[in-house]
Structure 1
Amino acid sequence: MKKIICSALFVICCHTSVFAGDIYVFAGDIYVSPTDGNDTAQGTSAAPLKTIDAALRMAREWRRLELDDKLRGGVNIILRGGTYRLDRPVFIRPEDSGTADSPTVIRGEGSTPAVISGGTSVTGWRKADDDPRIAAKARGRLWVSDAPMQGNRIVYARQMYADGRKALRSTQFGEYRMERMTDFNPTDESITIPTPETDLSRAGQLEMLVHQRWAVAILRVRRMENMGNGQTKVWFHEPESRLEFAHPWPQPVIGGERGNSSFSLNNALELVDEPGEWYQDYPSGQIYYYPKDGEDMAGTDFVVPAMDNLVEISGTRERPVSHIRFDNVTFEHAAWTRPLNEGHVTLQGGFRLIDAYKLDKPGLPHKAALENQAWIARPEAAFKARFASGITLNGCRFAHVGASAVDLEYAVSGSTIDRCTFNDIGGTAVMAGYFGEEGFETHLPYSPAIAQDICSEITISNNVIDDATNEDWGCAAISAGYVKQTNIVQNRVTNVNYSGIALGWGWTALETGMRDNHITGNDVSNYARQLYDAGGIYTLSNQPGSTISGNHISLPADAPYATNERAFCIYFDEATDGFTVYDNDMPERRIGYNQPGPDLKVN
């Protein structure tokens, strides 16, 4: 009898998996290895599969066939260390769902990172031939490579990484440096700037980055004309030209308290004039790079991201995805290429405009003073989920992401992002909730016909976010829209170009379903580095039963190109109401208000 008991205990121990205090007994394990796996193998430790897709399919079949011996306690997809290079996103559907007692867990094994990557290598570097477009100081120093291919197509990129360091896409003045514009003219849709020192007459892919209050615009240059007296007029391609000059909020400022709005010109071979800069030519796709001192081109790992989305969790209202967990997994090299094709003009928070204009006669039934309308679209995201519950990211890492890192888009509930790290994120690190996208005019008060459609019971906790919003400066590090019962707790946020933590949407005092949200115990520093109308913590609209408490918030950075001083430790933007605010640690009580409601209690 003693021998039988010991054998049973041995079996139990061999089939126990431990994740951050949770013990799943008798879990079925599926092993995956990018280096020595094979998708025709058995998925055992000795014979691992090669791809995550194959592992998900095996787990899906176990659930379809109701193999209790495999499902009892959960299914573990164990990723061995190495890079899992994707040629399509990992797609998780309702058939992959686990249960509370039997979740599907995708976890990295051991200390060697398991990296899910949308990147592709850039190889075959050679010294660049003389080209009249190359800046004088860069001649003889540039290297060139043919563009990598994805399938049968050239990969066009806006980001490139050298040994994990983000290379600087060619720019007029240097990283984060700009110059004041002279004029912004909606009549002929032009911007007047000081005439560039560099001859850009052959720069066919030139872009202008425009600083406009709390957002930026990326405008593809169509034509430039030297007007004399040191001034040059610039016109832009559609669709961004019409959007930029028609929408009133935000637009560049001429004659602001601290001067005019600013700009920089980017993306031309002529502008590659400093070590660490790069440029991709069109249509050849050739990539030019100016090496840093001592940089070995043969020994450096160059990567460009080729995919916007790495993981998509997608259910339906009738059949949501449930109980999926990622543990100790790294996500890298998600692209942000859309501005190459259509520019990028935003309303706020990285939400690009589909259409927008000023009303000739202000006022709509829900808001008598409204003088503009806007329709927006959601940013791209490396990891996104919709119609899902019980989604967990635990101890994961996100790096080298062009737009949003994680986005819980719509009808997501009971989900947690905990103890993750986010570094080198182009847009928002963590986004959650609906924001009135696509056909919903963004100023309308949202109230879903089906209450479960609003994102609820989301926990964003104990994460470290360092260097977010470095592509689209107008994003926040953590951004939640129409959500309820959401807790943003004990996160450390630093090095952000706009707001640190943003909660709410809609600019409305009406009931919208947002309620019982809590921002507690976070540390926010070095925010508002480039833009303003910002807050370390920023809120919008009526959110009954919500709190902001126990946060440490430094003073905002001094944005060098801001046209006024509107940046705050906490900013209660339009119609903020329903919050109780107490015990927040700030070097000084720098709090901003914009038409707050009567139930905002600030202690």
Structure 2
Amino acid sequence: MPASRSAPRTAPRRSAPIVTLAAALALGVPGLVPSATAHTPPTASADVYVSPAGSDSSDGTAQHPVSTLPRARDLARGRSAHQNADLTIHLAAGTYRVDGPLQLDARDSGQGGHRIIWQGAGAGTTVISGGRKVEGWQPVPGRPGLWSAPAPQGLTDTRQLYVDGVRGRRAGGEVPVSLTLTPTGYTASSDAIAHWRHPGDAEFVYTSGEALWNVERNGLGQWTEPRCPIAAAQGTTITMARPCWDNSTRRVEFPDRPGRTVSMVGPGTLTNKAKASYVENAFELLDEPGEWYLDRSARTVYYLPRPGEDPRSADIEAASAEKLVDGHGTAKAPLHDVAFQGLQFSYATWLTPSGPEGFSEIQAGYTITGAQGWATQGLCGFTPGGTCPFASWTKMPGNVSFSYARGIEISDSTFAHLGAAGLELGAGTADSTVRTSVFTDISGNGLEIGGVDGQTPASGIEVSDNHLYALPREFHGGVGILNGYTQHTTIAHNQLDHLGYSAISLGWGGWPDKIGSPATPNPSHDNAVRDNLIFDYLQLLDDGGGVYTQGLTGTSMADGEKVTGNVIHGQWGLGKSVYTDNGCTYETVQGNVLYGAAYANVAGRHTDYRDKLGNNDPTLIKDNWWEEGTADADSKGLVTTGNHIMSSLAEVPPDILAGAGIEPAQRSVLDRVTQAVSVPEAPARVGTSTGGADALYVIFNPSHVDGGSPVTGYTAHALRPDGTQAATASITAADFERQAYVRLGQLPFSQGPFRVTVTAHNARGESAPSLASAPLAPTVPVALPAAPTAAKVRAGSHAATLAWTPPAATGDAKVIGYRITVSDGRVIEVAGRDVLVTQPSGKGMFRVVGGLVPGRAYTFSIAAVTAAGTGPGAIAPTPPLP
């Protein structure tokens, strides 16, 4: 595997200090250079100076800076009318707290071909903050370890709290009652929730995923994680908030296609409405270090510190403002020629999910909203009264956003500790760049480009040399970069790693091909995704990809989307390296290095329903280095040619590997630190299977948030029915990456059934425990698994790809591995995440066997392995290698 080049996130960093003007001048802070004529009125093109120690009654010169962003904006407006050079607004080091967004419009544009530059002293040094500092912490009597503080003035609600830049977790845990579905919510098995302080603050979270082992699916598709608040709890009656509940449980279906929604995306209702995965935001669940709760009525913040944290001395920030910068022009009067350099945007929230709308997710952070959203929103001609265009659901907003803006440049900046999407370049944004910036610790999507609502598409956007990692933190169906309907967009030389779902997602509106209809027409064309380094993605959810695309990408192969030169590896959940999904048309996938994916490197076969000829959506898959091994073919518009089966990276031309990711001159962006080092986030989706008379096999999703220090290992904890610990088992992070499960032994049968939690470790310590698995008792498996099916060989010159489908019957245990026997005497043990999850999902598998001799014929046997032993082999002969 190539070096991951992930950022060393180890050094602690607290919020930037507020410095005095005198100190700034003495230290030579960038942007505060004394003027020789400090008291001379500024010329029309004179720069504006800002400092937290300044005064808005000053004139904005270097020696007399103003203190707020709106005042600096207004001074720049007055000085730009006769601009004959770039006008720079110098923001000295420090924290600039805002109650609402810095509003920019056409009046704030550069003039005469010049720019207005908002120049900070460096990301992490100049911070534009929507947070309110929480002070006055005191121990809570009768609750050892718990602290409280008065809510800051002006803070009415928030979804995020940060301690020295480390995100706290809203108090949450398992739903403490069993639930029975009703038309308005649930009937609970007891009135426990009704006795909480504020049951209306709590929200149910429905974690999705493939049905694997004994992990349940509770969401709206395995790529989503919807959330709905509780409206009220009285006795055993729990009423859920509307419209969220209706939008998540009543999505309209085709009358003649039961189970197929008119949206054609996911199920019509929550997969398991009678069981939320967990509940969040309740004081009664505040029991793990790192958790917090805001009692809005009492105006009190509660926090349970992690080891080593002292609330009295820590910088504790509650996100308050919902937007930091709002730059919006119009089609006739766009905002233009504005740059933002050396800034950090932090501590903004997003409160819509806390209200009646909740978070009824469709895909990639898009949601269904409105009282009749389930019945009409974005359903266009597919249902009476449907609104158009098709699939124009509600996009997650950006905490920093622009629309109808051109010539916007964002560079050397950081988007961190944010509660919605990080940066949104929306409709009508053109000829703009985002480069050498960091996106991390963001609740939803990292960067959003364009939209899907029929407005003017974004165009000419370049996103290059950025690092996007450890996201999303809250809305786990979010992606690193979301690109809607755009033109001439280039996403190049970025590094995206440690992502809960897909890394880069492009396109929209392709779902109608599920019912034999063509993809929705859209204005996209000439978009490129090239030379990016993508790894450790799909770490929480499934059915995504390193690069995911759906819908029409252009008007021909010439102007369709190009995915080239990327290195993509380390996929965890089910998906593809490059995922050409529904209706993806005119896509070129060429010259990429693709490996370590579950069930496909590239999925490119979809019927083209624009005519009745039965062709495939035109797609070119060419000259890639991959493990899939599909033979060259020209099948009705789907062309596969010149691809290379790779058994190791040594076979890949070094220049392809070296050319992917952030360019050498810009790689210092990987060293940028945004928070103090902390313990990792807890693993997720813990499942178990029998491992013998006294053992369980334990599977789980690793945390995609390592706390700024690499995860070194995991520990599984078996819990008796009374909650006491029965046994533990540990595994290193490296072994878990290879094997994907832990064997937890020495479990007395008589003390079961057992539930299992998992913790993660790094140099800082141990994470909070995960949510527990469903209970299971060890058993002695007897029946061996059946043989895999559909075994076949795809031969190259020195290697072959073996493909097979997991056995339909696995006996009384789950498949934990495969054994490949080669006719040359080799025995190859196959392990990994795909081994565990492809069997219940019915997905195929593949592995590359290298070291083969050209001209020689081979025979391969593939057998499944469970706790009962190794089953019979499926024989896959191959003709002599070329």
User: Same fold judged by TM-score > 0.5?
Assistant: yes
Residue type at the aligned position of 1:585: V
Q: Does the 8 Å CA contact 1:81/1:108 hold for their aligned counterparts?
A: yes
| Per-residue deviation, 1:475 | 1.3
Residue of structure 2 equivalent to 1:513: 523
Alignment of 1:348 onto 2:344: no
Q: Which deviates the most, 548-557 or 503-512?
A: 503-512
| Per-residue deviation, 1:261 | 8.3
Residue of structure 2 equivalent to 1:503: 506
1:462-541 aligned within 5 A: 462-507=465-510, 509-541=519-551
Please list the CA deviations of residues 290-330 of structure 1 after superposition, one character each: whole Å capped at 9, or x if unmatched. Answer: 12223222111110011111001111111111100001111
Alignment of 1:291 onto 2:305: yes
Kindly, what percent of the aligned residue pairs are identical? 27
Partners of 1:399 and 1:60 in 2: CA distance: 29
Alignment of 1:331 onto 2:335: no
Q: Does the 8 Å CA contact 2:156/2:296 hold for their aligned counterparts?
A: no
Partners of 1:557 and 1:261 in 2: CA distance: 25
Alignment of 1:263 onto 2:277: yes
Alignment of 1:599 onto 2:618: yes
| Per-residue deviation, 1:366 | 11
Q: Does the 8 Å CA contact 2:436/2:464 hold for their aligned counterparts?
A: yes
Q: Could you say if the C-alpha distance between residues 386 and 238 of structure 1 is closer, same or farther in structure 2, counting changes exceeding 3 Å?
A: same
Higher normalized strand content (fraction of residues): 1
Q: Does the 8 Å CA contact 2:327/2:402 hold for their aligned counterparts?
A: yes
| Per-residue deviation, 1:80 | 0.6
* Equivalences, count: 522
Partners of 2:178 and 2:481 in 1: CA distance: 34
- For residue 470 of structure 1, give the secondary structure of its aligned residue in structure 2: coil
Please list the CA deviations of residues 58-89 of structure 1 after superposition, one character each: whole Å capped at 9, or x if unmatched. Answer: 1111123x2xxxx2221011111000101221
- For residue 127 of structure 2, give the secondary structure of its aligned residue in structure 1: strand
Alignment of 1:145 onto 2:149: yes
Residue type at the aligned position of 2:343: V
| Per-residue deviation, 1:250 | 3.2
Residue of structure 1 equivalent to 2:652: none
Residue of structure 2 equivalent to 1:431: 448
Q: Could you say if the C-alpha distance between residues 423 and 110 of structure 1 is closer, same or farther in structure 2, counting changes exceeding 3 Å?
A: closer
Alignment of 1:29 onto 2:47: yes
Q: Does the 8 Å CA contact 1:380/1:404 hold for their aligned counterparts?
A: yes
Residue type at the aligned position of 2:590: Y
Q: Does the 8 Å CA contact 1:353/1:375 hold for their aligned counterparts?
A: no
Q: Could you say if the C-alpha distance between residues 192 and 552 of structure 1 is closer, same or farther in structure 2, counting changes exceeding 3 Å?
A: farther
| Per-residue deviation, 1:28 | 3.1
Q: Could you say if the C-alpha distance between residues 553 and 100 of structure 1 is closer, same or farther in structure 2, counting changes exceeding 3 Å?
A: farther
| Per-residue deviation, 1:510 | 4.8
Residue of structure 2 equivalent to 1:23: none
Residue of structure 2 equivalent to 1:128: 140
Residue of structure 2 equivalent to 1:439: none
Residue type at the aligned position of 2:96: Y
TM-score by length of 1: 0.80
TM-score by length of 2: 0.55
Alignment of 1:557 onto 2:558: no
| Per-residue deviation, 1:421 | 0.5
1:243-392 aligned within 5 A: 243-247=247-251, 248=261, 249-251=265-267, 254=271, 263-342=277-356, 343-354=358-369, 355-357=372-374, 364=381, 376-392=393-409
- For residue 467 of structure 1, give the secondary structure of its aligned residue in structure 2: strand
Partners of 1:111 and 1:382 in 2: CA distance: 17
Partners of 2:423 and 2:488 in 1: CA distance: 19
Residue type at the aligned position of 2:87: V
Runs of 4+ in structure 1 deviating by more than 6 angstroms, as ranges, are 181-184, 195-200
Please list the CA deviations of residues 383-433 of structure 1 after superposition, one character each: whole Å capped at 9, or x if unmatched. Answer: 111111000101111110001111011101000001110110111111011
Q: Does the 8 Å CA contact 1:356/1:373 hold for their aligned counterparts?
A: no
Alignment of 1:580 onto 2:585: no
Please list the CA deviations of residues 511-567 of structure 1 after superposition, one character each: whole Å capped at 9, or x if unmatched. Answer: 411001000011112221222121111111111222001111114214xxxxxx4x2
Name the structure, 1 or 2, with higher relative contact order (CA <8 Å, separation 6+): 1
Residue type at the aligned position of 1:102: H
- Structure 1 stretches lacking a partner, 5+ long: 1-13, 16-25, 131-138, 227-231, 437-445, 559-564
Partners of 1:337 and 1:253 in 2: CA distance: 23
Q: What is the RMSD of the two structures over their aligned residues, measured on CA atoms?
A: 3.2
Q: Does the 8 Å CA contact 1:503/1:540 hold for their aligned counterparts?
A: yes
Residue type at the aligned position of 1:492: Q
Residue of structure 2 equivalent to 1:156: 157
Please list the CA deviations of residues 97-118 of structure 1 after superposition, one character each: whole Å capped at 9, or x if unmatched. Answer: 1147311011113687111110
Q: Does the 8 Å CA contact 2:203/2:227 hold for their aligned counterparts?
A: yes
- For residue 57 of structure 1, give the secondary structure of its aligned residue in structure 2: helix
Q: Does the 8 Å CA contact 2:532/2:565 hold for their aligned counterparts?
A: yes
Partners of 2:394 and 2:123 in 1: CA distance: 38
Q: Does the 8 Å CA contact 1:308/1:380 hold for their aligned counterparts?
A: no
1:43-192 aligned within 5 A: 43-64=60-81, 66=82, 71-99=83-111, 101-109=113-121, 113-130=125-142, 139-150=143-154, 154-172=155-173, 188=183, 190=185
Q: Does the 8 Å CA contact 1:184/1:254 hold for their aligned counterparts?
A: no
Please list the CA deviations of residues 414-461 of structure 1 after superposition, one character each: whole Å capped at 9, or x if unmatched. Answer: 00001110110111111011222xxxxxxxxx4x6xxxx221111111
Q: Could you say if the C-alpha distance between residues 129 and 426 of structure 1 is closer, same or farther in structure 2, counting changes exceeding 3 Å?
A: same
Residue of structure 2 equivalent to 1:240: 244
Residue type at the aligned position of 2:160: Q
Q: Could you say if the C-alpha distance between residues 539 and 90 of structure 1 is closer, same or farther in structure 2, counting changes exceeding 3 Å?
A: same
| Per-residue deviation, 1:373 | 7.4
Q: Does the 8 Å CA contact 2:133/2:316 hold for their aligned counterparts?
A: yes
| Per-residue deviation, 1:223 | 5.7
Partners of 1:366 and 1:517 in 2: CA distance: 32
- For residue 277 of structure 2, give the secondary structure of its aligned residue in structure 1: strand
Q: Does the 8 Å CA contact 2:122/2:413 hold for their aligned counterparts?
A: no
Residue of structure 1 equivalent to 2:577: 569
Residue of structure 2 equivalent to 1:218: 227
Residue type at the aligned position of 2:587: F
Residue type at the aligned position of 2:491: I
Partners of 2:536 and 2:191 in 1: CA distance: 33
Residue of structure 1 equivalent to 2:791: none
Residue type at the aligned position of 2:55: N
Partners of 1:164 and 1:220 in 2: CA distance: 27
- For residue 120 of structure 1, give the secondary structure of its aligned residue in structure 2: strand
Q: Does the 8 Å CA contact 2:122/2:412 hold for their aligned counterparts?
A: no
Partners of 1:210 and 1:283 in 2: CA distance: 27
| Per-residue deviation, 1:348 | 1.4
